[in-house]
Copies of this chain bind each other. A is one copy, B any other.
Amino acid sequence: MVEKITPRSQDYSRWYTDVVQQAQLADYAPVRGCMVIKPYGYALWENVKDGLDRRFKATGHENAYFPLLIPMSFLQKEAQHVEGFSPELAVVTHGGGKELEEPLVVRPTSETIIGHMYAQWIQSYRDLPLLINQWANVVRWELRTRLFLRTMEFLWQEGHTAHATAEEAQEETLRMLDVYADFAESDAAVPVIKGRKSETEKFAGAVASYSIEAMMGDMRALQAGTSHNLGQNFSRAFDIRYLDANNVLQYCWTTSWGMSTRMVGCIIMVHGDDQGLILPPRLAPVQVVIVPIAKTEEERSAVLDACEAVSRTLADAGVRVKLDARDEYSPGWKFNEWELRGVPLRIEIGPRDVAREQVVAARRDRPGKEGKSFLPMAGLANAISDLLVQIQRDLFARALAFREAHTSEPTDYEAFSAAVESGFARAWWCGSIACEDRVKEDTKATTRNIPFDQPGGTGRCIVCGAPASETAVFARAY
């Protein structure tokens, strides 16, 4: 272990894969495009799950579970949906040794099968809103895959809600986008731009899609979560109707929203550096690692006692702490390993620290002396908790400053084309697909979203010069 990580400046994509593998987050699976999520990566995902699940429950959602296998005919009921997903399907044609009468699709997403069930469950306005989330695996036959970012199978949550009115559905759609943004910014320390997807970029079957977009360390964009207002598209396709208070049969208004293991890739690329991973304290499986430093057997026993006492104190205070007391590795080797694995804070305890009743705390996000401090044993749990809060805040601030430093507002197409080479370009856009297409062809950049936060007024489309009422964020994207 602990091979050399390719520097970001040399090959960002290689850096990413090195970090994922060497930090032991994930590994390649024997099936093309699939990955194995290793224990450390899965522990990170469990913390992502907890952070989201708590928020879903606090906003009135319940979890449920729907089948993995969906009759092929279901996919075909919503025209845009089938068109969007057909090229990506994995199809079960044989079961129990026989060929099936109707092929079954391994779910690429669950609007159709959930729509089918909602049609049976929803009778009257009293059954609404129906607010359900599912934690599940999905399969999409992707050609170009990358660990966490785009894999044939991935883990995610998909929320599916049904409402009595268009207004409620829209409120829900935006509420869940806010939940994602809050999770991303508060827990993952990832600043995001909330906005509406363009017509070409929206979900297959949605009336309107919304996303949160983040800037990665190579200045490309990553869509970290999406929330869709499905209007009545799926309720008409699946006959999801309710009797309203006047006893009139109405179609429901539905939404769906999802965040996936892709978020893990996002965290890696927003915070990581050439030493490896840097994890935000709120999601880090290990928040604090304690490394004992002793040369002689005599020193070792006193140092280990102190390490164990500190470990207990921190664990009791709710800190996720790990004492690395392995004999076979030197302190320097351990420093490297835990830096590579992104533990936010390292505590070193040597004989002198024991004598002085102190510890050395070293921040992962501030290499060298700058990030080191001496903390007295007395009141250590509070000091460490405060430091973790500070690290969380600093990681967010750094990511935000980075994004701002690499976001420009070009006013002509030449400057625009240069800008999307190395960052986000925010520009007026007339809304036409033709202009989107041209940008994509010229620069490989796409509209990420049309931010909620608009400058106001009107302008001229950065591409065609026609009048434009909104600005969009353009960038190359994952």
Which residues on B sit within 8 Å (CB–CB) of A103?
94
Return chain B residues, CB-CB under 8 Å to A126: 328
A141–B96 CB distance below 8 A: yes
Question: Contacting A74 at CB < 8 Å: which of B30, B132, B143?
Answer: B30
Min CB–CB distance A143 → chain B (angstroms): 7
Q: Scan residues 77-136 of chain A and give those whose CB is less than 8 A from a CB of chain B.
A: 86-97, 103-104, 106, 113, 116-117, 120-121, 126, 132, 136
Contact-residue size bin, chain A (C-beta under 8 Å from the other chain): 35 or more
Neighbour of A43 across the interface among B29, B62, B106, B141, CB < 8 A = B62
- Closest Cβ neighbor of A93 among chain B residues: B93
A352 to B89, CA, bound (A): 63
A139 near B63 with CB under 8 A, answer no
Does A62 lie within 8 Å of B89, measured CB to CB?
A: no
Bound Cα distance A469, B173 (Å): 66
Contact present for A155 and B65 (CB under 8 Å): yes
Question: Contact at B87–A96, with CB atoms within 8 Å?
Answer: yes
Q: Is A378 an interface residue (CB 8 A)?
A: no
- DSSP majority for the A interface? mixed
Q: How far is the CA of A117 from the CA of B29 in the complex (A)?
A: 8
A188 interface residue (CB < 8 Å to B): no
Q: Does A375 contact B (CB under 8 A)?
A: no
For the complex, is A69 an interface residue (Cβ under 8 Å from B)? Answer: yes
Q: Do A31 and B69 have beta carbons less than 8 Å apart?
A: yes
Contact partners of A34 in chain B: CB under 8 A: 67, 69
Q: Are B43 and A63 closer than 8 Å at their CB atoms?
A: yes
Is A64's CB under 8 angstroms from B90's CB?
Answer: no
A353 CB within 8 Å of chain B: no
Shortest CB-to-CB span from A32 to chain B, Å, is 9
A137 touches B68 (CB 8 A): yes
Cβ-based interface call for A46 (8 A): yes
Do A90 and B67 touch across chains, with their CB atoms under 8 A apart? Answer: no
* Interface presence of A35 (CB below 8 A): yes
Please tell me if A70 contacts chain B, counting CB pairs below 8 Å.
yes
A104–B328 Cα gap in the complex (Å)?
A: 42
A88 and B106 CA atoms in complex are apart in Å by 17
In this assembly, does A38 line the interface, its C-beta being within 8 Å of a C-beta of chain B?
yes
Closest beta carbon of chain B to A140's beta carbon, Å = 9
| Residue A185 lies at the interface, judged by CB distance under 8 Å to chain B | no
Given contacts A95-B90, A106-B92, A137-B137, contact A42 B63 (CB under 8 A): yes
Question: Once the chains bind, are A39 and B68 in contact (CB under 8 Å)?
Answer: no
A35 touches B91 (CB 8 A): no
Find out whether the CB atom of A66 lies under 8 angstroms from the CB atom of B155. no
A36 to chain B, nearest CB (A): 5
Question: Nearest-CB distance from A160 to chain B (Å)?
Answer: 12
Are A91 and B95 touching (Cβ within 8 A)?
yes
Which residues from B are CB-within-8-Å of A29? Answer: 66-67, 113, 117
User: Which residue in B36, B62, B91, B95 is a CB contact (below 8 Å) of A39?
Assistant: B62
Cα-based distance from A31 to B137 in the complex (angstroms): 18
Return chain B residues, CB-CB under 8 Å to A120. 27
The 5 closest A-B pairs by CB, nearest first: A96-B141, A39-B62, A37-B65, A34-B67, A91-B94
12 contacts between A and B (CB under 8 A): A37-B64, A37-B65, A39-B63, A39-B132, A41-B64, A43-B63, A65-B155, A68-B137, A68-B153, A89-B97, A93-B94, A96-B141
